[in-house]
Amino acid sequence: MKKCIVIGGGFAGLTAAAYLSNSGFKVELLEASPKLGGRAYSFKDSSTGSTIDNGQHIMMGCYYDTLKFIKLIGAEDNFLFQKRLEINFLTSDSKLIELKSFPLPYPFNLLFGLMNFKAISISNRIRFLKLFLKLPFINIEKLKELTVYDWLIKENQNEKIREAFWEILSVGALNTSIKKASALTFAIILKEIFLKGNKSATIILPKYGLSESYCESAASFIRKKNGIINLTEAVERMAISDGKIVEIETSKRKIDDFDFVISSVPFHAIKKIIPQLKYQKNFELSYSAILTVHIWLKENMLKEKFYGLINSPVHWLFNHDDHFTIVVSDANDLIEKTKEEIFEVIYSELEQFIKIKKSDILSYKIIKEKRATFIPSKEILFNRPKSITEFNNLFIAGDWTDTKLPSTIESAVKSGRVAAAQIINSLQ
Ligand SMILES: Cc1cc2nc3c(=O)[nH]c(=O)nc-3n(C[C@H](O)[C@H](O)[C@H](O)COP(=O)(O)OP(=O)(O)OC[C@H]3O[C@@H](n4cnc5c(N)ncnc54)[C@H](O)[C@@H]3O)c2cc1C
């Protein structure tokens, strides 16, 4: 039986470990922290007793690899699947505006839904729809030198349309301002969301805390297949001989009884473990923060599961019954402020958008994720490394590797599946 060491227990590492153990490999997963999940996990908040996520995560119907992984580990029942696209937007005068697909065959369901989106005027909706109708015919290669902003201007998407729709979608998906994000990456995800059938544009949310929703199922699947998961064991370095990894040194021991290694750690971590990798010399990533604010209120007056806020620094509000979760994407500036200053910014938005008062708030918790996602700028697009490396038993995974996708769960899961497949296929 061939043995593979998987380094890192985020979505990418768990996926690689699940596929390999399912294919009869002996898998040992090494995770530096005391928990699985990497950048997507949950924990019990000590002051309120609620289970909260380090950051609300949303998935979409076009997360094909993620959906397959969730099915493989038997976690499908832990997620809420929309039957059709439905997003409720709020305006600063607390008006509710729906974006809802129509009960019509695809693609008319989406086109009618977009045409009925009352956050923009009829004449702007026509401009907006023109871009959607062009989407299947756009040669994305031609977008590689453009930012999302450049492209939207070129396509006559004025400020009103950008604020009411494109910015929310682009900043939500790419966690980067439209002036920095690559138009090519954005066009790839627009095609995935809107051109791949009925389900692709639907939203999928975890039913429980993230750890319960997928980490526990993944861990028990891997263990059932005789895999081993070691937490609180960081890989510190790897020894190379004859073009192969021959030894892994961790914070606890040295390991040399393996055939293959998959590293699924973030880019900033892999640089330390194996600085010899060639691609690193011309490659750098910069990061965007996400700010999450959990708020407990005396009374929950909201009906919907989540809301998008139009033209606000607060992008999304999720309703968890006992608390709300506020998501601020592209938050590099805001996270530098103190917790009190951040709370004031969030509060003044909520005061306008959902008319809450300070006296309604019981408590709040702010979570700052500085390196939440890498910035998908046009500069890094064609430089991301593939899973195969110059060392013939070392493969790399992680949302930042060359999946063509932005820094998302789907990119992480795809990278883990591809790295595992390289190993499985190499033996056939
Ligand atoms: C607040 C927030 C909100 C987000 N929202 C969304 C969303 O709504 N939708 C979406 O699709 N994506 C979202 N993302 C992005 C998503 O979480 C990531 O793309 C994904 O989790 C990355 O998974 P990964 O396995 O590639 O990396 P990671 O999750 O970073 O996992 C890497 C793992 O490697 C471990 N590690 C590091 N160094 C070592 C070492 N030396 N030895 C052993 N282990 C090591 C780390 O501890 C970590 O567990 C969000 C991210 C954040 C932070």
H or E stretch covering 279: none
Q: Where are the domains of the chain?
A: 3-40+208-284+379-426, 100-200, 287-374
The rounded percent of the chain whose pLDDT value lies above 70 is 100
Alpha helices in 147-215 (DSSP H): 148-154, 159-161, 167-174, 183-194, 210
Query: How does residue 337 score in pLDDT terms, banded at 50, 70 and 90?
Result: very high
pLDDT of residue 251: 98
pLDDT of residue 378: 81
Q: Of all atoms in ligand 1, which is nearest to the CA of residue 14?
A: 25
- pLDDT higher for 428 or 12? 12
Which residue from 52, 56, 57 has its CB within 8 A of the most atoms of ligand 1, so it is best to mutate? Answer: 57
Which residue from 214, 237, 408 has its CB within 8 A of the most atoms of ligand 1, so it is best to mutate? Answer: 408
Q: Of all atoms in ligand 1, which is nearest to the CA of residue 11?
A: 25
What average pLDDT is seen over the chain?
95
pLDDT in tens, 66-92: 999 999 999 999 999 999 999 999 999
State the distance from the centre of ligand 1 to the C-alpha of 271, rounded, in angstroms.
16
Number of H helices, E strands in the chain: 13, 20
Residue 400 has pLDDT above 80, yes or no: yes
pLDDT of residue 149: 97
State the distance from the centre of ligand 1 to the C-alpha of 407, rounded, in angstroms.
9
Query: How does residue 329 score in pLDDT terms, banded at 50, 70 and 90?
Result: very high
C-alpha 115: how far from chain center: 28
Q: Of all atoms in ligand 1, which is nearest to the CA of residue 33?
A: 47
Q: Tell me the two tokens of residue 212.
A: 């319960």
Closest Cα to atom 6, ligand 1: which residue?
Answer: 57
Give the pLDDT mean for 55-63. Answer: 97
State the distance from the centre of ligand 1 to the C-alpha of 197, rounded, in angstroms.
28
The set of protein residues with a Cβ atom below 6 angstroms from ligand 1 is 7-13, 30-33, 38-40, 54-55, 57-59, 234-235, 264-266, 269, 273, 290, 292, 369, 372-373, 398-399, 407-410, 412
pLDDT of residue 50: 95
Residue 383 has pLDDT above 90, yes or no: no
Category of 248 on φ-ψ map: left (φ > 0), alpha (ψ -120 to 50) or beta:
beta
pLDDT of residue 281: 78
Q: Which distant-in-sequence residues (6+ apart) come within 8 Å of 150 by Cβ?
A: 183
State the distance from the centre of ligand 1 to the C-alpha of 85, rounded, in angstroms.
26
State the distance from the centre of ligand 1 to the C-alpha of 387, rounded, in angstroms.
17
Closest Cα to atom 29, ligand 1: which residue?
Answer: 38
Question: Which has the closest alpha carbon to 403: 185, 77, 247?
Answer: 185
pLDDT of residue 310: 94
Residue 360 has pLDDT above 90, yes or no: yes
3-40+208-284+379-426: which CATH topology? FAD/NAD(P)-binding domain (3.50.50)
Q: Of all atoms in ligand 1, which is nearest to the CA of residue 172?
A: 8
CATH 3.90.660.10 fits 287-374, yes or no: yes
Q: Of all atoms in ligand 1, which is nearest to the CA of residue 36?
A: 49
pLDDT of residue 279: 84
Half-sphere exposure at residue 328, Cβ-oriented, CA atoms within 13 angstroms: 25
pTM of the predicted protein model: 0.97
- In the chain, % helix, strand, coil (3-state, to 5) comes to 35, 25, 40
Question: 213 and 206 in contact (C-beta within 8 Å)?
Answer: yes
Give the pLDDT mean for 382-386. Answer: 89
The rounded percent of the chain whose pLDDT value lies above 90 is 94
pLDDT of residue 321: 86
Question: 238 and 247 in contact (C-beta within 8 Å)?
Answer: yes
pLDDT of residue 379: 80
State the distance from the centre of ligand 1 to the C-alpha of 38, rounded, in angstroms.
4
pLDDT of residue 406: 94
Residue 404, helix vs strand vs coil: coil
pLDDT of residue 273: 96
Question: 96 and 90 in contact (C-beta within 8 Å)?
Answer: yes
Residue 180, helix vs strand vs coil: coil
pLDDT in tens, 211-244: 999 999 999 999 999 999 999 999 999 999 999 9
Give the pLDDT mean for 185-195. Answer: 94
Question: 406 and 373 in contact (C-beta within 8 Å)?
Answer: yes
Structure letter (DSSP) for residue 215: I
Give the pLDDT mean for 297-306. Answer: 93
